[in-house]
Amino acid sequence: MAVMSTTRDSDQTPSCCAPTRPDGHRDPAPRPAAGGPGRPRFGGLVALPGGTFRMGTDDPDGFPADGEGPVREVTVRSFRISATTVTNAQFAAFVRDTGFRTDAERYGWSFVFHLLVPPALRRSGAPVAGPAPWWLGIAGASWQAPEGPGSDVSQRSNHPVVHVSYDDAVAYCDWAGVRLPTEAEWEYAARGGLDQARFPWGRS
């Protein structure tokens, strides 16, 4: 799940980091009541001053269809953002408090990166994510079983939570009293003040 900011007055633009369901289906099932913004439950936020930066990339490895280019100047206001992504331990606290079930748990499956899928499951003819065949649909995969049946997060409490949909992330934010960052805010923070650097340490 993307890191979060506490300000709530700018557009919330979901970032593109995982494939959607092939059929585009969105389940309208009701969600449990969340804690709401009056009960902040997330600490460790870092304050960043606003500013203008060059967002996106014109690198040949970029994907313009995903909105990664062209490079353009974007201005963001000051905001606060978590220093790390949401962890399994933090998400587990949300689940214990609300009884929330993620989309992956309700659908009964999720996509797993192919190199993390056990060989037996890779041989079972798992469906792929359309133009991204390195993502395999694995029955039973969820935030509590990242690689599918037989895996767990008992030794990964500080690892980033995975198999969380946009709707799941919004529900967590409502409970935690925060919101998702916009894509511009996230990139501004992730660049760490470096202009168009390909890596945190520089361009190569």
SS3 content of the chain, % helix, strand, coil (to 5): 25, 20, 55
pLDDT in tens for each of the 204 residues of the chain?
545 555 444 443 333 333 333 444 333 344 444 444 444 566 678 999 999 999 998 888 888 788 888 999 999 999 999 988 999 999 999 999 999 999 999 999 999 998 998 777 766 556 766 778 889 999 999 999 999 999 999 999 999 999 999 999 999 999 999 999 999 999 999 998 889 888 777 666
Crossing angle (nearest 10°) for helices 88-98 and 166-176: 80
CA dihedral over 36, 39, 41, 43, signed as positive or negative: positive
pLDDT at 126: 61
Which backbone phi and psi does 139 adopt, to 5 degrees? -65, 135
pLDDT at 124: 59
| 33/175 Cα distance (integer angstroms) | 9
pLDDT at 6: 52
pLDDT at 62: 82
- Which three-class secondary structure state does DSSP give residue 112? strand
pLDDT at 113: 93
pLDDT at 92: 96
| 204/197 Cα distance (integer angstroms) | 8
Assess if CATH 3.40.50.720 describes domain 1-10+23-86+166-204. no
171 — alpha (psi -120 to 50), left (phi > 0) or beta? alpha
Domain boundaries along the sequence of the chain: 1-10+23-86+166-204, 103-163
